Amino acid sequence: MARWHGWALALATLAGLGAAWPHPARAFGDEGAFHPRVLLTGTATWEGPRRSGPAQWAWELKRRTSAPARTMPTTVRADTGALLAEPFAIWAGEGPIAPLTSREIDRLRRFFTVGGTLLVDDAAPETGQFGRDARRELRRVLPEAAVLPLPETHVIFHSFYLVQRPTGRIEGSKKIDGIIRGGNAQVIFLAHDLLGALAVDSSGMPSFVVVPGGDTQREYARRFAVNLAMYVLCSNYKDDQVHAPFLMRRRGRGLP
């Protein structure tokens, strides 16, 4: 599949290390579709009122753009080879994170080496426990990488919509921290509960109240989610006109 040829090449290169990799023909989801997989570590499960958040994210992307998206996202465990099958995952939660196992660290390190992008979405930014623990564990995965604020000019803010700041269930900070490797934001830290703003209940109504901006803030959260998805699909094409067919080729080269 030419669209994600670079990702397949990178996986093929790492295959010699002895892991049981997924078949290279499996690229970014179904035929290049955006797939907001939820990353699970330790004994964590994906349950509760935010469970519908990834599916709603995919649905909003399909509704608002021409980009394909998987509207029945899956979960993926950090210690499995399946993590390497696709270049995006969401690590979301609201409580403490148990230390990663050596196998989880190894798989995550390889995920980043072949160009993967991880979104850390703190579901309880009021306390910040999940976000702090995620940073602690990612320092073990990428000890050489620095966490830095993304500039206001970063492509995430204009990859589809023109947005001024990140937002979610809570307004949160105006800044986004990230880990930049090979010119791309491979880890994006949010302290806004993005999935909480996207999630709906069984009747299709929002699962959470959005504060302080209500429905207007929820709309901006949806727009920001679309921007993130377009960044994952197309990297910084708004800056240098590199489009999706070359995304993982670019991400698989020149990484530290």
Handedness of CA 17, 18, 22, 25 (dihedral sign): positive
Q: What is the pLDDT of residue 15?
A: 38
- Residuewise pLDDT in 10s, the chain (256 residues): 333 344 444 444 443 433 333 333 333 345 579 999 999 999 999 999 999 999 999 999 999 998 999 999 999 999 999 999 998 999 999 999 999 999 999 999 999 999 999 999 999 999 999 999 999 999 999 999 999 999 999 999 999 999 999 999 999 999 999 999 988 999 999 999 999 999 999 999 999 999 999 999 999 999 999 999 999 988 643 343 333 444 444 444 443 3
For residue 224, the tally of other CB atoms under 10 A from its CB is 25
Integer Cα distance of 132 and 138 in angstroms: 10
* Half-sphere exposure (Cβ direction) of 127: Cα atoms closer than 13 Å: 9
pLDDT score for 168: 98
Q: Alpha-carbon distance 29 to 12, whole Å?
A: 18
> Superfamily for 35-251?
Domain of unknown function DUF4159 (3.40.50.12140)
Peptide bond into 143 cis (omega under 30): no
DSSP summary character for residue 244: G
pLDDT for residue 18: 34
| The model's pTM | 0.83
Half-sphere exposure of residue 84, counting CA atoms within 13 Å on the CB side? 30
H/E segment holding residue 247:
helix 247-251
Report pLDDT for 30.
59
In Å, how far are 36, 105, 191, 222 from 116, measured between CA atoms?
A: 13, 14, 21, 23
pLDDT for the residue 61:
96
